[in-house]
Structure formats: structure tokens, C-alpha cells
Chains A and B, each alone.
Chain A
Amino acid sequence: MTATKKAPSRVLSLPARIYLIFYNAIQFLGWSFLLYKMVDFVINQGLGGKSLWEHVEVPLLIFQSGAILEVVHCACGITPSNTVITFAQVYSRVFLIWPILYNVPDARDQIGFSLLLLAWTVTEVLRYLYYVLNLISFVPGILLWCRYTFFIILYPAGVTGELLCCYRALPHYNKTQEFSVLLPNAWNFTFNFYYYTILVMLAYIPVFPQLYTHMFVQRKKILGNKKHD
């Protein structure tokens, strides 16, 4: 890793810093709005699936899709994260919102989508606020604690929700063969979106434990040190 990647707050250029504050602030506001809409819905109508989706659909699609920019940020070096890992994380989100939730109404499972939305909104509100404040070197301890503690419940909850929604989308792709390439064709190639979705779901098995334990390692490193100050 280069010095730039380890300490961006020291080496980041002013335009890049301003841009990132701007980007993260917009995301923070967007996800706060989504959190508000979700809470508003749940208070008035209880847990929901399809109707909850309709209540949050547009801002969810906009702000989650916006996260694609974060892959570009890594590739350009203005954020220190690993590009491949960020790509994998953003990919799983975009996969959920477009081909699963947007395209297949049956995927908007009552429990699955509620869990997913809860996990995503709370996590992202904390994450983007943390990034904004980190860029101006002013992170309150309580925020740091929340960011590195809430994931313990939210991460598994979110993954459960995501897998449930994917599972509910499978019958549609199996039946309609949408987004699939069938034989015969000149290049003897096939692509089956139904099996691809199953593959994506299976990928959670090796990936989730690794990311989950990585967060615990980070927690020990970051919160462990703060305790001694």
C-alpha cells in the first residue's frame, strides 16, 4: 500500500476533499431520508413488503445506485479502500435493487425486504456521516462506537434479508428465462440468470464470514485503542 492509501486525510488534494465531503454528505442526507421514510411507514402501516418498496423505491434506487461512484473513487485513489472489495460490495447492492427488487415484484418479501431496508439505512446513515466527519477530522467517539458496533446485528440481518429477497425472485427467472441466453446459437454460449442468481447466493457462504470477521478485527483495533485514551 502506498502512503496515499494509508493516510488520505494528509495527502488528499483540496478539490478531492471537497468533492468527497460533498458526495458523502449527499449520501448521508439521502439515506437519512430513506430511514425516515421507512420509520414513517412502519409506524403507520407496520412491516411491509411490496407497499414498503413502493414507499421508498425512487430514493432507494437513486442513492444506492450512486454508490457505484465509490468504486471509481477507489480506482482513482481518492479513497483508501480496496477497489475489488468495494466493487464486490457495491455489486451485491446493485444486484439486489435492480434485477431482484425492481424487476421482480414477488421478491419484495415482507420480512426479507424489511430486514434489508433496516440494515441498509442504519448502516449507510452511520457510514456516510462517519466519512463526512472523518474528512474534517472531527469524529465523535459515540459515532465511532455505533459504526463499529451496530454491524454485529445489522450485518447478519441485512444478509438474511438479501438472501430472502433473492430466493423469492428465483421462480420468476426460472419460468421466464429473462436476461438469459439459450441454445442454439452460433457461439454455443449459454447464460442462465436463474442459475446465476443461485451462484450469487452461494457466494455469500465464503464471503460473508470473511467480511464479518474483518469487521470484528477492525472493531478491536479501532475501539480497543480509543478505550486507552
Chain B
Amino acid sequence: MEIGILSTSGGKQLATLTVDPNSTLKELKTQIHRLKSHLYPDRQEFRQEPRGKGLDENKTVAALGLKDHSKLYLKDLGPQIAWKTVFLTEYAGPLFVYAWIYQRPWLFYGEGASNQPMSQVAHIAACCWVIHYAKRILETLFVHRFSHATMPVRNLFRNCAYYWIFSAYVAYHVNHPLYTAPCQMQSYIALGFWTICELGNFSIHWALRNLRPPGSKERRIPRPTKDPLTLLFNLVSCPNYTYEVGGWVAFTIMTQCLPAGLFAFAGFYQMAVWAIGKHRAYKKDFKDYPRGRKAIIPFVF
């Protein structure tokens, strides 16, 4: 049978493909790639309507109800880059930028700044920061399972700018020769809380990994596991974000640094948006989704 492929922008005919009913959309993407070399499969998204939802590439032509002379729309998602690549670049920046500014380079502080005394909390903060981003890099390499292989290239520049610039902003203040540490008790308690949040965040990532069988893109309702830190699933849909926000609030209190607080707030805002989206998707996809669960802040929202 023949399927007409139309562009989502302008609706013009891009190609006519000869397929059999059991062909998956994935195979169609390979065919199109052969016809148009710049459109590698990750860059293609099929839709049944120009502005409709993207179709699962594992579905067959027959399963979608397509017949001879049916039409499918193709969206060009633009140049793609692997998610892993994006994350590694995003997270490497904060690691190196903070470590560099921690050494008090003359570029930021003038000559002789590195000889001046540094508070204990500033050393601890540097460790926390590096551990946090090293953890993120390791999780990206070994823990996370991604539902999409790629994302648009322009995201790389935008995301990196955000992480790298904010890292420099926070690092500049905490490592400054004129930085004033809060009382030790406050810093130690906050450090304890930070540690729990980092462990909690990792526990959730680990639980989410095991929720999804290897190589699968299946979605299931996340629930607490044997790890007590995962009990937060009973209260929120995205406890990984909850722990992440908690960690940054702890870092802010530990250093009593308003720039760190601004960073925590910016992260919280973005994660809240994502959490609300995920929460809604869960409720829509699962009829038996536990009520009483909030998106990111227990009992609140």
C-alpha cells in the first residue's frame, strides 16, 4: 500500500512510501532518511494531524488504521543532540567553573585573593557542590533511562548558559575573601539535611530506574520501595525534585548566601513546572493513580 507523507509546515507532499500493513513507523522513518539524507530518524516525528500529537514509532501502519493512499504528517524536529551529551556538558560546566573559582583566580578577585583565609563552610560548600554535580554526571551515565534519545540542539546552548552562569554567580559569592560564614551550628545542621536530600534524590532515581525494564519505554506508577527515603512517593509524584529543592535550600542555609537562594528558587520554579506536568500525565494515564499525592511539595501542591 502507499502512504503519502506531508510536511507539518505548509502541508506539501514530501514523499510517497510503499509499505505493508505490518511496517512500523520506525521503518518508515528509515525509508524517509534514505530519500532525504538530512532527516535522520531522530529528527522525524509522525503525526496524523499537522498539529496533532507525535505518534509512537513502534506502532504499525495497520494499528494506526492507515489504508492505501492514507496520509501521514511529518514534523522536522530540527538538529538533534543526544540527551546524554546535553546533560554531561551541562553538568561538567558547574563542576569545573565552581572548582576554578574556589581557587580564587585573580580574574574575579584580583591578585592575592587566594592567599587570604577561607572559612570552613566555604570548603564544605565546595565539596557539596562538586559531589552534587559528580553524582549527576554518574547518574546520567549509569542510572537514568531516557524516554527520548535526543533533544533539539538549541536546548544545549540555553541550558549550558543557565548552569554555567549561575554556577559562576554562586561560586563568586561563597568563595569571596569577604564572604561571611553563618554560625557553625546552622551550617552543620543544614549540611546534615543536605546529605539526606542528596541520598534521597539518588534513591528516587534508583527506584525510577528499576520501575522501567531495560530497553523499555513503558510507564508505571512509581511506589515506595524497601528504601525508606522512597516513602516520599506516598506524598508526591516527583520526590526526586522535592529532594533536589530541599538540597539547594539546605545549601543556601548552610552558606547563608542569597545568590545560592536565587539559584535554588530558579531551580524550584522550573522543577515545579515539570512536576505539575508529570503529575497531570500520571493522573491521566493511570485511572487508579493514588489520590492525595501532590506534584512536588507534600500536602501543598
Contacts and interface: CB of A to CB of B under 8 A. Distances in A.
Interface of A: 183-190
Q: How large is the interface on B (under 10, 10 to 19, 20 to 34, 35 or more residues)?
A: 10 to 19
B258 A189 contact: yes
B120 to A, nearest CB: 15
A187 B178 CA distance: 12
Interface of chain A, main secondary structure: loop
A65 B178 CA distance: 38
B178 A183 contact: yes
Interface of B: 173-174, 176, 178-180, 255-259
Contacts of A184: 178-180
A188 B255 CA distance: 9
A190 B176 CA distance: 11
A84 B34 CA distance: 44
B117 to A, nearest CB: 13
A196 to B, nearest CB: 13
A210 to B, nearest CB: 14
Contacts of A189: 173, 257-259
A200 to B, nearest CB: 16
B176 A187 contact: no
Given A184-B178, A185-B180, 16 more contacts: A183-B176, A184-B179, A184-B180, A186-B180, A186-B256, A187-B257, A187-B258, A188-B174, A188-B176, A188-B180, A188-B255, A188-B257, A188-B258, A188-B259, A189-B258, A190-B259
A190 B173 contact: yes
A182 to B, nearest CB: 8
Contacts of A186: 180, 256
B4 to A, nearest CB: 32
Contacts of A183: 173, 176, 178-180
User: Which of A183, A187, A188, A190 has the most chain B CB atoms closer than 10 A to its own CB?
Assistant: A188
Contacts of B258: 187-189
Contacts of B174: 188
Contacts of B180: 183-186, 188
Contacts of B179: 183-184, 188
Nearest to A187: B258
Nearest to A181: B258
Nearest to A189: B258
A216 to B, nearest CB: 21
B86 to A, nearest CB: 21
A186 B178 CA distance: 11
A184 B178 CA distance: 5
Contacts of B176: 183, 188
A183 B179 CA distance: 7
B250 to A, nearest CB: 16
Nearest to B170: A188
A26 to B, nearest CB: 38
Nearest to B181: A188
Contacts of B173: 183, 188-190
A186 B186 CA distance: 14
A67 to B, nearest CB: 29
Contacts of B178: 183-184
A184 B173 CA distance: 10
A188 B259 CA distance: 8
